Chains A and B, each alone.
Chain A
Amino acid sequence: GAGVSQSPSNKVTEKGKDVELRCDPISGHTALYWYRQSLGQGLEFLIYFQGNSAPDKSGLPSDRFSAERTGGSVSTLTIQRTQQEDSAVYLCASRDDRVDYEQYFGPGTRLTVT
């Protein structure tokens, strides 16, 4: 079946502009995660959605970052007033919590802030 999809695959923006990144999880997966991977680094957790529960926002680096998940499916990560240090690959993952904790990742969005 279809995997996790993300759009756009690449985004170049000017410092100070807002950006929106989109994630389509695997159909039926109730848990959705956002991570960030800076160049040559491991992955850093940002935010976690589980069903109708309040999201776990403990990984968001600043109040310029926010995310929402509409209808328990598609999620949008918004970065306001982008800074150069926001440049990274943003990865989305989903899992079926009826089965186990295994997460499946999308291809990521490469964000470059100039």
Chain B
Amino acid sequence: GIQVEQSPPDLILQEGANSTLRCNFSDSVNNLQWFHQNPWGQLINLFYIPSGTKQNGRLSATTVATERYSLLYISSSQTTDSGVYFCSGSARQLTFGSGTQLTVLP
């Protein structure tokens, strides 16, 4: 099956800093999603982005399908951005990476 590798595994930022999270896939995926898992465990959809670039407020994402990677950009980070960020992709069921644990300090 597809392998999903996320980096970095852990990231600590000061409030206001920018960051880039990366997701690499071992094979082509025909859909890709980014999620934020909040401290209560709820998975929040950030982006559905099989290819191209999307932006939503302080967050944006880029997927280069031909090179099998995706990037999530967080600008002007806030403490509420803390949590685990997952990328996932596949054809039918999603295969998840192991996540990036983000901590934003006030």
Chain A residues in the interface with B (C-beta under 8 A): 33, 35, 37, 41-45, 48, 50, 56, 59, 89, 91, 93, 100-105, 107-108, 110
The interface of chain B, by Cβ under 8 A from chain A, is 30-31, 33, 35, 40-43, 45, 48, 50, 86, 88, 91-99
Q: How distant is B106 from chain A, measured CB to nearest CB, in Å? A: 24
Residues of chain B with a CB closer than 8 A to A108's CB? 41-42
Give chain B residues whose Cβ lies under 8 Å from the Cβ of A93.
94
Q: Which residues of B contact A35 (CB under 8 A)?
A: 94
Interface of chain B, main secondary structure: loop
**Contacts of B48 on A, CB cut-off 8 Å?**
100-102
A109 to chain B, nearest CB (A): 10
Asked if A42 and B97 sit within 8 Å, CB to CB, the answer is yes
Does A102 contact B93, Cβ atoms closer than 8 Å?
Answer: no
Q: Are B86 and A103 in contact (CB under 8 A)?
A: no
Q: Provided the pairs A42-B98, A100-B48, A101-B31 are in contact, do residues A89 and B93 lie with their beta carbons within 8 angstroms?
A: no
